[in-house]
């Protein structure tokens, strides 16, 4: 099997594609891959480290206002489609898989023009611009949330989940909280606003420090490598100190392994975070980012809240009091935490990679 993968811009588009590739490799030793990304997205830093062949295209997004940049966007897109056609002819893939981002629009459009089977994957409950653009001519569409069905032709859309969930569910962790001077025998609240941190979550945690210092559970804030100095400066300015069971870290390398040792997670409501926490059945307090297209994180969070798998706090309502109240509700109430853990496991689709693989096999021409 020869598979061309394309997804770019954010980790939410890239990690599902890489998880899918790993699952295909487990099933087909002779599988070949080519990943096509952009020059601007983080895929240029992530994909080459896997050893997968990687090529790049120049693309950019549309401006919402009238702008001459949009003329350049169209020109770059058409040029990228032409270049992608050459890549496809050279590689001769059996299927082209797109996981979102502007670069996947050019790659899959080229494949559709060349009559190569295409599969798109939508990680969020609200479909992205690129996937909606590609849907009409896509061979098959895989979705991670039932709500996303409304954006695509029903007859070729399947609920498969996010392959990142299967990857995380199978992961074995030997992580210990003693690495950070904490205990493995205490309940732990893990607060993580993304790889770069989240200012609103950091500030709410800062306000909650006096209360957290008095709790009998541990608290770990991952503030972000570029934001931890500012956090510690504010802590000092406000005359606050951290107790022995409250830690502030810049970054954690293998977050899913650490998540396995957490009792409750505070996080954004991005597709990858939700795939990971539901794969683990981890109770969560979600703080959707209000700065994403289509407010899709709020809708992602609502899906979990409606299922009884998470609590949610809107960013305008997030402060020290609301954060502590939500944390106490789960860390000081074993029954509620257990119920939420069960619901989270039910929401998670831990065979998502297998489902994605089957979907791909169904479109490959014999």
| Binding-site entries for UDP-N-acetyl-alpha-D-glucosamine | 10-12, 124, 195, 252, 297
Closest to 119 in 3D by CA, of 7, 14, 39: 7
Residue 92 CA to residue 306 CA, distance in Å, equals 44
Range list of H helices, the chain: 11-27, 43-46, 69-91, 102-113, 129-135, 163-169, 199-214, 228-237, 255-259, 271-280, 296-306, 320-331, 334-347, 352-363
- The sheet with strand 54-57 has its strands ordered as 54-57, 32-38, 2-6, 95-98, 118-122, 140-143, 157-159
CB 350 within 8 A of CB 165: yes
Per-residue DSSP letter, 126: S
Listing DSSP states for 174-224 in one string gives ---GGGGT--TTS-EEEEE--TT--HHHHHHHHHHHHHHHHSSSEEEEE--
Residue 264 CA to residue 267 CA, distance in Å, equals 10
Query: Helix, strand or coil for residue 123?
Result: coil
Listing DSSP states for 59-93 in one string gives --PPPSS--THHHHHHHHHHHHHHHHHHHHHHH--
Residue 3 CA to residue 94 CA, distance in Å, equals 6
CB 103 within 8 A of CB 76: no
Say how many residues make up the chain: 366
Binding region: 10-12, 124, 195, 252, 297
Q: Whose structure tokens read 């297998």?
A: 354
Q: What angle do helix axes 102-113 and 69-91 make, rounded to 10 degrees?
A: 50
Residue 241 CA to residue 228 CA, distance in Å, equals 15
């Amino acid at each position: 099997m020869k598979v061309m993968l394309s997804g770019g811009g954010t980790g939410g588009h890239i990690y599902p594609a890489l998880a899918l590739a790993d699952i295909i490799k487990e099933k087909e030793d002779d599988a070949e891959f080519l990943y096509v990304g952009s020059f601007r997205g983080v895929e240029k830093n992530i994909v080459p480290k896997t050893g997968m062949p990687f090529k790049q295209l120049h693309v950019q997004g549309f401006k919402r206002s009238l702008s001459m940049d949009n003329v350049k966007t169209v020109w770059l897109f058409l040029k990228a489609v032409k270049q992608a056609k050459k890549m496809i002819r050279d590689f001769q893939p059996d299927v082209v898989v797109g996981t979102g981002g502007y670069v996947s629009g050019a790659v899959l459009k080229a494949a559709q023009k060349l009559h190569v089977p295409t599969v798109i994957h939508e990680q969020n409950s609200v479909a992205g611009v690129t996937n909606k653009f590609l849907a009409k001519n896509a061979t098959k569409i895989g979705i991670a949330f039932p709500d996303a069905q409304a954006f695509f032709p029903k007859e070729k859309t399947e609920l498969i989940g996010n392959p990142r969930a299967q990857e995380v569910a199978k992961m074995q962790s030997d992580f210990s909280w003693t690495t950070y001077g904490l205990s493995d025998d205490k309940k732990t609240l893990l607060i993580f606003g993304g790889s770069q941190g989240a200012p609103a979550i950091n500030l709410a945690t800062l306000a909650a420090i006096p209360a957290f210092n008095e709790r009998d559970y541990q608290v770990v804030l991952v503030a972000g490598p570029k934001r931890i100095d500012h956090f510690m400066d504010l802590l000092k300015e406000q005359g606050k100190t951290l107790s022995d069971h409250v830690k502030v870290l810049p970054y954690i390398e293998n977050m899913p392994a650490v998540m396995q040792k957490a009792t409750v997670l505070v996080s954004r409501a991005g597709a990858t975070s939700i795939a990971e926490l539901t794969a683990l059945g981890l109770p969560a307090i979600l703080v959707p980012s209000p700065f994403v297209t289509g407010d899709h994180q709020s809708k992602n969070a609502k899906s979990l809240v409606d299922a009884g798998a998470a609590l949610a706090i809107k960013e305008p309502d997030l402060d020290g009091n609301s954060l502590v109240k939500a944390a106490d509700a789960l860390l000081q109430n074993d029954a509620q935490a257990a119920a939420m853990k069960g619901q989270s496991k039910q929401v998670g689709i831990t065979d998502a990679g297998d489902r994605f693989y089957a979907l791909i096999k169904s479109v490959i021409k014999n």
